[in-house]
Amino acid sequence: MAPRRLLLALSIAALVATACSGATPTASPSTPPAASASTGAVCDSAPEVGQADGWGPQSTTPTLTPILISNAITCGRVRLLFLYLDDQNGVASAPDRTAKVAFYDLGRDPNKVVATAEGAFVWMIPDERGMYVVDVDLPEAGIWGAEFTTEAPGSPAETARMTFGVLDTPTAVAVGQKAPATVTPTLADVGGDVTKISTDDDPDPAFYETSVAAALADHEPFMLVFATPKFCLSAQCGPTLDEMKKVAAANPTVTFINVEPYELQEVDGQLQPVLDANNGLIAVDATDAWGLLSEPWIFAVDRDGIVRGSYAITITPAELEAIVPIISAGG
């Protein structure tokens, strides 16, 4: 398999640069990214849409701008991540700020609400930066509209709109599919020296004891994390991995596996990335096999090797409480 670069889902610097440039998420609808040809479409596509009424640039710039973090969104049950930037380009998402989203299938009817969802706040970096998670059914591929409404104590409600593309085919391994039996690095491969396979400053050796292939062969339920604390441009991999260590300590019957998503090599006793001709990070085979376009990413896999949960960036306490019993059942 030819190596490819991994696209980062979230870089706050990039988000701020977008905001500073005057770009806004309420621009005209754009064509969704091309779907993978490796699997068939999982839904129908809505008719193509040009400029839908009410979905062009807003006449006034909102004080708070919603930023969609999720990429490669696929039709069906969707987990969407977003945050708010204020007029100074600071992250304005907060536990006491509500977020409600109404979704419109613009190819069908730009004025009809198809679904609504309340955003669940979650810290990305504890007490520093947060975002919202919504779970919603988007039954068709095509161009969709999202109307965000938010309010917080001491500030009035605000509404902003944006458009986004929805694919008809998943790019990453989807919930309900078989987990790829990837051979991922373990301590046994490096003589027990965890620093040779992890860029974590405080690694938990248990996260590197079992490969994905071995866990599947042994019918072990497992949580798989793709995270690189040292080379994660979003600065999110470290905090996400730290939270997963706490989860692992509380769930000893579940195997936890961390995989560095990029090709690394040892230079002067430290792991450094292998770069492509354009000085870009290169995805490892496991990253390609799982179809990832961003990091960090978490998968939950049951004893039968079926993916039961898929979580970009981080996972909420409620999601953890729900998924651990599901993958642990049986046996």
| Strand partners of residue 56 | none
Strand order in the sheet with 113-118: 113-118, 98-105, 142-152, 155-166
Residue 210 neighbours by CB distance under 10 Å: 20
Looking at domain 12-166, its CATH architecture is: Sandwich (2.60)
The pLDDT of residue 56? 76
Task: Tell me what pLDDT residue 50 has.
Answer: 75
Q: Record the pTM.
A: 0.86
Q: Give, for all 331 residues of the chain, the pLDDT tens digit.
A: 334 444 444 444 344 333 333 333 333 333 333 433 344 788 999 998 877 777 877 767 789 999 999 988 999 999 999 999 998 999 999 999 999 999 999 999 999 999 999 999 999 988 999 999 999 999 999 999 999 999 999 989 999 999 999 999 999 999 999 999 999 999 999 999 999 999 999 999 999 999 999 999 999 999 999 999 999 977 899 999 999 999 999 999 999 999 999 999 999 999 999 999 999 999 999 999 999 988 999 999 999 999 999 999 999 999 999 999 999 996 5
Domain chopping of the chain, boundaries: 12-166, 187-328
CATH topology classification for 187-328: Glutaredoxin (3.40.30)
* Chain centre distance of CA 21: 25
Find out whether 69 and 130 touch, Cβ atoms under 8 Å. no
Distance (Å, rounded) from C-alpha 250 to C-alpha 297? 20
- What is the distance between the alpha carbons of residues 198 and 270, in angstroms, rounded to a whole number? 10
SS3 146: strand
Please, what sign has the CA dihedral across residues 13, 18, 19, 20?
positive
Question: Bridge-partner residues for 316, per DSSP?
Answer: none
